[in-house]
Amino acid sequence: MSRTLLFRPQVASDLAEAVEWYRTSRPGLEANFYRDFQATLAAIESNPLQYQIIEGETRRAMLHRFPYGVMYVVSDHELLIVACLHARRNPARWRERLR
């Protein structure tokens, strides 16, 4: 079944913040981060139920090379990407986005 991929508006800010940090820490690394994020999205789309539920209906897929998780919710017709945050960030940051 094909599901529509949707993003909370804050995900763009999450990505911009991470990309900027990697760009300033080691130029060129931001492209690797973004490719890893895209690969994680592709994996979520191909099999959204493979990742662990972390709270309620929210699942988390970790990026392969970077300490970031993509938090998302699966429904019959949608994949809602809630956040892409560093693994050590306060979970309240993504929980607020579920409301």
Task: Please give the share of the chain, as a percent, with pLDDT higher than 70.
Answer: 93
Under the banding of pLDDT at 50, 70 and 90, the label for residue 22 is: very high
Mean pLDDT in residue range 9-38: 96
Global pTM? 0.90
The predicted pLDDT at position 97 comes to: 74
> Rounded CA gap, 95 and 9, in Å?
14
pLDDT at 95 > cutoff 80: no
Q: How far is CA 43 from each of CA 3, 40, 50, rounded to the nearest angstrom? A: 13, 5, 9
Q: Which fold has domain 4-98?
A: YaeB-like fold (3.30.2310)
Strands 68-74 and 58-62: antiparallel
Average pLDDT on 31-54 reads 97
Going 60 to 93 to 6 to 63, the CA torsion angle's sign is negative
> Per-domain residue ranges for the chain?
4-98
CA–CA separation, 69 and 13 (whole Å) = 15
